[in-house]
Amino acid sequence: MSKPVGSDFGLEEWQEARAVLARFDDNLHDLRKYGFSFVTGLLTADTLLGQAAANANVVVSDYVKLAVFVVTLGLICTLRLLDKHYRRFQEAAAVRARILENRLNLDLSGTIAYFYDITASWRYVHYVYVGFVLLTGILGLAVLWPDAWALGGLAIAVVVALGFVLGIHVWKGRVRATDWSVDKKVAFAGDSIRITLTNLAEVPFKIPANYVAWAIYGMGKEEDTSFGTAPVRGEDLFLKRQLETYDWLWDVSVKPGLYRLVIGPVENPRYVTTLQVLRPRKGDSSE
């Protein structure tokens, strides 16, 4: 059964965000399970190559052995890159879920994130990748000894792989400073629309005093008319912590039609969306 027009679909969006988290968690589980199994198989093959010299009928060049070790290190780096790729989707869904939880008075994602952070569980997965790189280097040292050229190539490959694994762990990319959201984009005259600002960065975010955070304009002939503004009055507005939010309520006291919500300066807005205002509900005193 569909929800009535003008309803807040935040709960449905939150459920979908949690579903996205679950799907990518399954993807990560499969990636690590099959990927680590394949890496283990390659390391076993490397060991067998090292023992091949004992067979008088088989001669395996040290550079062939080195190539197998380099391929193994490359696979470990590829797995780490895919792991990071899936984790970025999870992080985006988790941030959106926590933003919605602030609006819906829920705290599931926030509680999970809290215990995940205080136990530093993310480190264990990171240590697995570092461990695979180091163990591959140690195994290569035993197999390629005492060929100096092959050992030099192995050392370079290990350093590059270790730098990649460590670097991709600390790299976070460009994170937008803020997130703007609207609880509903279709509302009846006489309702209220909540506009929410969320700080996504790990550093404080400031909106200076007297700065117009957002404005609502008519469309068509009334395009230049401002029907609602939100100047920051008095003193600067600070969002000191990551995912800290600030809400505004716009009382819909305009005639039915389409309106444009503009966040930030009109000439260079950070966020623009369209709002639709419907006639008052039947029985509404404002009708």
Q: What is the pLDDT of residues 20-53, one digit of tens each?
A: 888 988 888 888 888 888 877 777 766 655 555 5
pLDDT at position 46? 61
* 83 part of a folded domain: yes
For the segment 195-213, the average pLDDT, to the nearest whole number, is 82
Query: Does one domain contain both 126 and 196?
Result: no
Q: Are residues 192 and 151 in the same domain?
A: no
Q: What percent of the chain lies above the pLDDT cut of 90?
A: 3
Identify the weakest region by mean pLDDT among 6-20, 64-78, 81-95: 6-20
Q: Cβ atoms within 10 A of the Cβ of 126, count?
A: 17
pLDDT at 149: 86
Task: Please return the burial class of 27, using the count of CB atoms within 10 Å of its CB with bins 0-12, 13-18 and 19+.
Answer: middle
pLDDT of residue 231: 63
14 domain-assigned = yes
pLDDT-wise least confident of 83-97, 206-220, 245-259? 206-220
What residue numbers bound the domain in which 132 lies? Answer: 10-170
Do 33 and 100 lie in one domain? The reply is yes
In a domain, 3, yes or no: no
Based on the fold, state whether residues 212 and 152 are members of the same structural domain.
no
170, 189, 206 — which closes off a domain?
Answer: 170
Least confident of 60-64, 88-92, 198-202, 256-260: 60-64
* Residues whose CB is less than 8 angstroms from the CB of residue 70 and which lie 6 or more positions away in sequence, other chains included: 153, 154, 157
Q: Which residue shows structure tokens 């995912």?
A: 243
Domain identity same for 113 and 154: yes
Convert the pLDDT of each residue in 157-170 to its tens digit: 999 999 988 888 76
Q: Are residues 78 and 142 in the same domain?
A: yes
For residue 211, being part of any structural domain is answered with yes
Residues 53 and 108 in one domain: yes
Q: Are residues 127 and 20 in the same domain?
A: yes
Domain-terminating residue out of 144, 170, 196:
170
Dihedral angle over CA of 164, 168, 174, 177, nearest 10: -150
Tell me which of 170, 189, 222 is where a domain ends: 170
Note whether residue 285 is domain-resident.
Answer: no
In a domain, 15, yes or no: yes
In a shared domain, residues 163 and 214: no
Does residue 255 lie in a domain region?
yes
Judge if 161 and 258 occupy the same domain: no
Count structural domains, the chain: 2
Does one domain contain both 86 and 186? no
One domain, residues 247 and 107 = no
- Determine how β-strand 192-199 pairs with β-strand 226-231: unpaired
Give which of 143, 190, 171 is closest to 45, Cα–Cα.
Answer: 143
pLDDT(287) > 60: no
Query: What is residue 229's predicted lDDT score, i.e. its pLDDT?
Result: 67
Question: Residue 58 corresponds to which amino acid?
Answer: V
125 part of a folded domain: yes
